[in-house]
Amino acid sequence: MTTEPSAFRQMTDAGLLAAAAAGSHAGFAEIVSRHYQPVYRLVWRMTNGGADAEDVAQEAFVKLWKNPAQVREAGALKGWLMRVAANAVVDRSRKPRAGALEEAPEVIDPTARPDAPLARAQAARLVDRRIAELPERQRLALSLVYFEGMTNIEAAAVLEVSVDALESLLARARRGLKDSLSAEWRDLLGGLAETGQ
Amino acid sequence: MEQDNNRSEERELRAVLAQASQPQLPAGAADRLMARIAAEPQAGRVIAFAPRAKAQRPFWRYAAAVPLAASLALGVWLGANGRMDFMMPNAVTGGVALNDDTPVDDLGGVGAAYAEESTT
């Protein structure tokens, strides 16, 4: 008996993992549709927008497919994928990258006035760059909590540290980011007010 | 007061971070991943236990057998030719044990009693 793809959409992660363990590609495709986007976003941020972000994010899912039973708590599947992806990033960070934000030339808007609030794209680029300059673990903590909306407890589990240690990483990340953006901080907030957000 | 400051800082930080890029999955990324998955075999669910490597036994381990074997051979030889009989208990090596021609009463005396009865 085969399960309809629509039935997988109703399943919990635990059910999908069981289906994947039984070799169901449709069940695994549902896991991919649920979790690929956040895993990719995390990897993108961790690799500073590197060209190999997709490959690294894929690695986490391939590892899961090979042995779905290695996820002990199905409820924490997203966290497991995040952890595996983050570890893959750390492994790859030892190799030279191509096309990362750090090496990409900065695009300067010729129409921009020096005293004008930062343009949206320029502001995004600046914030991305400053985040990319944070130490790896601080960047990971910041990404999990502020960009992926994880609780401190969930993020601490991904990083395999205590909640206190995670809060310390977050505090250092906040301070580091604020220091590195101190010159543009008001502009960034002003640009925000201008866009009406 | 401090809490208010913290909240204000947190709000500002979130506002600044909201301006960061929001990367989206490249087009066709999920299809590419599923194509890769289709080509990847799953790990078998039977755990293969590799046989434990046989431990190398050192040669000197057998050296202890040599004096033991020699001791056994000497014991057999001495026992066979009777040279050490003087050390053995008399009951084993004495005339009674070896040369007594008296029939053995396997019945523990019952035989003798029976013989006496039959003569009367």
Q: Between A152-159 and A77-93, two packed helices, what is the crossing angle to 10 degrees?
A: 50
Residue A125 touches chain B, beta carbons under 8 Å:
yes
Q: Is residue A34 part of a domain?
A: yes
* pLDDT tens, position by position, A114-124: 555 567 788 88
Residue B5 touches chain A, beta carbons under 8 Å:
no
**A88 shares a domain with A140:** no
**Calpha distance A75→A113 (Å, rounded):** 50
Predicted TM-score (pTM) of the model is: 0.66
Q: Is residue A74 part of a domain?
A: yes
| Option in A25, A45, A124 nearest B19 (CB) | A124
Residue A108 confidence (pLDDT):
43
Classify residue A106 by burial, with Cβ atoms within 10 Å: 0-12, 13-18, 19+.
exposed
User: Predicted confidence band at B49 (pLDDT cuts at 50, 70, 90)?
Assistant: low
Looking at the structure of chain A, the number of domains it has is 2
**Calpha distance A27→A17 (Å, rounded):** 8
- Among A8, A40, A129, A184, which would you mutate to test the B interface (most chain B Cβ atoms within 10 Å of its Cβ)? A40
Q: Is residue A16 part of a domain?
A: yes
Distances (CA, A) of A61 to A189, B40, B116: 38, 11, 102
Q: What is the CATH number of the domain that holds A57?
A: 1.10.1740.10
**A133 shares a domain with A89:** no
Q: Is residue A104 part of a domain?
A: no
Q: Is residue A178 part of a domain?
A: yes
Q: Is residue A110 part of a domain?
A: no
Distances (CA, A) of B52 to B45, B46, B55, B57: 21, 18, 9, 15
Instruction: Answer yes or no: are the C-beta atoms of A20 and A28 closer than 8 Å.
Output: yes
Residue B46 touches chain A, beta carbons under 8 Å:
no
Q: For residue A14, give its domain range.
A: 10-93
**A74 shares a domain with A34:** yes
* pLDDT tens, position by position, A5-25: 678 888 888 889 889 988 899
**A79 shares a domain with A17:** yes
Last residue of a domain, one of A93, A112, A128: A93
Q: Is residue A100 part of a domain?
A: no
Last residue of a domain, one of A51, A74, A93: A93
**A81 shares a domain with A134:** no
**A146 shares a domain with A187:** yes
**A88 shares a domain with A128:** no
**Calpha distance A196→A123 (Å, rounded):** 15
Q: Is residue A2 part of a domain?
A: no
* pLDDT tens, position by position, A133-156: 999 999 999 999 999 999 999 999
Model ipTM?
A: 0.77
What is the average pLDDT across A51-68? 91
Judged against a pLDDT cut of 50, whether residue A57 lies above it is answered with yes
Judged against a pLDDT cut of 50, whether residue A87 lies above it is answered with yes
What is the distance, to the nearest Å, from the Cα of residue B102 to the centroid of all Cα atoms in its chain? Answer: 55
Residue A131 touches chain B, beta carbons under 8 Å:
yes
Last residue of a domain, one of A58, A93, A128: A93
**A125 shares a domain with A187:** yes
Nearest chain A residue to B39 by CA distance is A62
